[in-house]
Amino acid sequence: MSGFAQRCGVHDAAREQSVARLARRLSEQGIELVRFAWCDLHGVLRGKTLVASAAERALREGVGMVSTLMLKDTSDRTAFQVFEPGGTATLPGFGFANNLLLLADPDSFRQLPWTAATGWLRAQPWFEDGTPVELDTRRVLQRALAKLADAGYTLRCGLEVEFHIYKLQDAQPSLDPMQAAWPGPAPAVSLVHPGYNLLAEGWFDLAEEPLRIVQHTAQSLGLPLLSLEVELGPSQVEAVFEATDALTAADNMVLFRNAVKMALRRAGYHATFMCRPPFPNIMSSGWHLHQSLCDARTGRNAFLREAPAPGTDTNDAAHTLSEVGASYLAGLLHHARGMTVFCTPTANGFGRFRPNALAPQSVLWGRDNRGAMVRVIGGCGDAATRIENRIGEPAANPYLYFASQVHAGLDGIARGLKPPRATDAPYAGGGESLPTSLGEALAALADDAVLCDAFGRDFVAYFSRIKQSEQQRFAAAEDIDEFQRREYFGRF
């Protein structure tokens, strides 16, 4: 009988060679444990840890995973009644906490730098009959990129990610059994720099120890880190990465975010990608997504314009962007409200959308304008011309964030949409307002028929059900700050 990976249609001679190479590598490098990791709906890595001698078989036969892991909200509560009649009627293949199987990519192997003799593999879930689990968010992005390829383009993305690093006051936070709860208490922390001194070299020096851990972790994992910076807020920092193809960029973001949290925790620090940590006088963290389309045949930047369109000025998109780029930009604006919940998916993240905070409030674009939702960077003849969407929070699932850009941009191109003129006053009240709550963002998605069809109605219903669970608990919380401390600060 053929192996499970063969029945899934993913195991061929090339993959067999990769599996054999990896088996030799595990032996030669003295690897003892291998983590088979999968990215959940919320961008968090979960999975199974196998002894190295079991890894080769698991690459061919899969690793069992309970299906309810795909049905969890941000508190880890299952949002569907899996043991009730009809509780998973809208989720074919799910029910009664049945098994899924994780198949890992042998070429994704990394040796983890913060723990001894441990390897890591990226995996995706399959049903036991050998069919893919289409609700998996990495597959959502893969489908979006396939549509983009059909249109003749590839997507390149650069990551610019703000987050916070704190010093743990207790080396073993939240491990008192008398304090255990669901979710548990947030860790007690202190600052690594006092903030309000943007890019100050002295503040970088204060935070150098944890930032060195971030640097070494990222580089040891082969991630294309470019810079580490001290941001404006207390204990706030930023990491910037070189642009790559979109799927690689999304994979890198998942790995980076989860890896630095673990590496820093072992050194006595707490990293959080929560947008607004639960303290007074903090600054919100954003995830600014730089993106450009490339011609799939030539690799040329499809946003590049050699000369301004006749009769335009700098506030016209066609002064800087090609027709394709301008229509892509118009698609992002047209679907901005509907896409928001994929870019800012937590109840906490909507506190970022406020005036004069280097975060957007309205559906507007600007020429190198950091107050606008979308910032156009570059100029005629500049091969680095790109669009920066500033709507995201650093806790977003990167596969869904990127997929929302693809679907919105493709609709703009397909319909030849034209963007309005650029804004010079992003906080003056022009343009549609962005959603101001998770509930409003979910409603905006439901109203966007194009995005719902592009993501698939089944996926949108599944995603919305899980996010509504979070929103309902947030709305019912007696102490909103304590809810956010437990729900996000300690876990994201």
CATH number at residue 311: 3.30.590.10
| pLDDT of 174 | 67
Q: Which residues of the chain have pLDDT under 50?
A: 1
Are residues 124 and 20 part of one domain? yes
The strand pair at 118-126 and 33-39 is best described as parallel
Position 1 in a domain: no
Is residue 332 within 8 A of residue 405, CB to CB? The reply is yes
Are residues 277 and 218 part of one domain? yes
Q: pTM here?
A: 0.97
The strand pair at 236-241 and 225-230 is best described as antiparallel
> 27-50 pLDDT, tens per residue?
999 999 999 999 999 999 999 999
| pLDDT of 26 | 97
Task: Domain count for the chain, please give it.
Answer: 2
Are residues 400 and 285 part of one domain? yes
User: Rounded to whole angstroms, how far apart are CA atoms 193 and 233?
Assistant: 9
Are residues 377 and 419 part of one domain? yes
Nearest to 402 by CA among 246, 224, 243: 246
Domain that holds residue 358: 144-489
| pLDDT of 33 | 98
Are residues 216 and 113 part of one domain? no
Q: Which residues pair with 245 in a beta bridge?
A: 156
Are residues 441 and 386 part of one domain? yes
User: Rounded to whole angstroms, how far apart are CA atoms 292 and 388?
Assistant: 9
> 106-145 pLDDT, tens per residue?
999 999 999 999 999 999 999 999 999 999 999 999 999 9
